[in-house]
Amino acid sequence: MKVTKAATLADDLVRQLETRIETGALNPGDRFPTEKQIEDDFGVSRTVVREAFARLSARGLLESRRGAGAFVAPAAHYRAFQLAPEEVEAIEDVLKLLEMRMGFESEMAELAAKRRSASDLAAMREALAAMDSSEEVDGSVMADAAFHAAIARATGNDYFERFTSFLGVRLVPSRKLYLQADDPETHKAHARTINQDHEAIYAAIEAGDPSRAFRAARAHMQKSFERYESLSTRG
């Protein structure tokens, strides 16, 4: 899967318009330049402008008013961290997110190894069993998400659980894209590798070994990064 030129141009345009908002060049309530003005100023097509506007709207930075144009949203300077589904459709975007998750997942596994309860371990084992028995993509994806959610709960910190849920929802379409890219036998081979990684994380958490859990989770995320990175080189 390759990133299109239009998508890359839209990324650049979004960043430049966001910078204008962050620096105060565009303030809440201000009208964005017209599509034609942006086309001329940035040297992009109308398709690129509309894609950028759609992304800004999804991020809560832009609101459209019928007959009046596009305006900077009133709460643009106070928005929470968000990820719209279309922002993680390209492999390059998934890779950026995985880079961020690498540290997050490692720290989470380390805390889980210190704090896990018997019920936490049971939930992890149940997810592992579901992954091992699943023969279709949707089942594998949901069991994967359930395993990471169980680790998050084991930290005893509800912010880990909430953020893991937030990220998991946005990564599911991309994981499905990856798993569906290959024939069933190749998918099974990938699933076995992923399950082995999860077993290593579980074993470290069960043993109450924080350092080992940290290393196992980081190794798992690194392999995930490399799997997605390989997609960018496919035709």
Beta-carbon-side half-sphere exposure of residue 94 (alpha carbons within 13 Å) = 29
Average pLDDT of the residues of the chain = 83
Angle in degrees, CA 139, 141, 145, rounded to 5: 115
> What pTM does this model have?
0.62
124 vs 163, which has greater pLDDT? Answer: 124
Domains and CATH numbers, the chain: 5-78 (1.10.10.10), 85-231 (1.20.120.530)
Helix (H) or strand (E) holding 210: helix 210-231
Picking from 112, 183, 114, the residue whose alpha carbon sits closest to that of residue 149 is 112
Q: Per-residue confidence at 141, pLDDT binned at 50, 70, 90?
A: confident
Res 5 pLDDT > 70: no
